[in-house]
Amino acid sequence: MNIAVVYKSRYGAAKRYAQWIAEDLKCPIYNLSEVKPGQLDNCGAVVYGGGVYAGSVSGLKDAFSLFNKDLVVFAVGMAKPTEASAAAFKDKLIPAEVKDRTALFQLRGGYDLGKMSFFHKLVMMLVRGVMKKGESSPGEREKFKNKIVDFIDRSSLKPLVDYIKKTYK
């Protein structure tokens, strides 16, 4: 299995997941900003992860242009993943010409308002203000009132790691 893990992380959630994936797969890990064109050409596939901002995965367009191979994408956001949201996300984010060689997994992240940019703080305050009762549990709505929220969960990587082990033996 010749795999590499690449990530782009602004506040650390995507990096934590990338480190765990690399540990589980016993493969190298790279920050996207440090990868040179052609550097990972010998890999059969690349696992790429980034944070979700305004409905896009950070660095994903760069990853598609840099890696002309199978891509296993993990998108780290605050929303609770569902099959419907994953399908909609894949339709929106993955270009038609690479859909057949791209898998997408959604993972939950976290935030620390004290470390966020002014703009991201503003967005999170708006999100917290518009959370609807039907879209989240009372416990989740209460958790979002905190200045630090952490939904990061190593066990949520199992489907992604199992998919890679099965697909790229």
Q: Give the start-to-end residue ranges of the domains of the chain.
A: 3-109+152-167, 112-150
Pair type for strands 102-108 and 70-77: parallel
CA dihedral 11, 16, 18, 22 (to 10 degrees): 160
Instruction: Kindly indicate the confidence band of residue 128, based on its pLDDT and cuts at 50, 70 and 90.
Output: low
Residues whose CB falls within 8 Å of the CB of residue 128, separated by 6 or more in sequence, listed in order: 144, 145
**pLDDT of 136 higher than 70:** no
Q: Which CATH class is domain 3-109+152-167?
A: alpha beta
Query: Using one digit for the tens of pLDDT, what is the confidence trace for 86-105?
Result: 888 888 889 899 999 999 99
Instruction: Kindly indicate the confidence band of residue 13, based on its pLDDT and cuts at 50, 70 and 90.
Output: very high
Per DSSP, helices labelled H in the chain are 13-25, 60-66, 83-93, 118-130, 138-143, 158-167
Confidence (pTM):
0.84
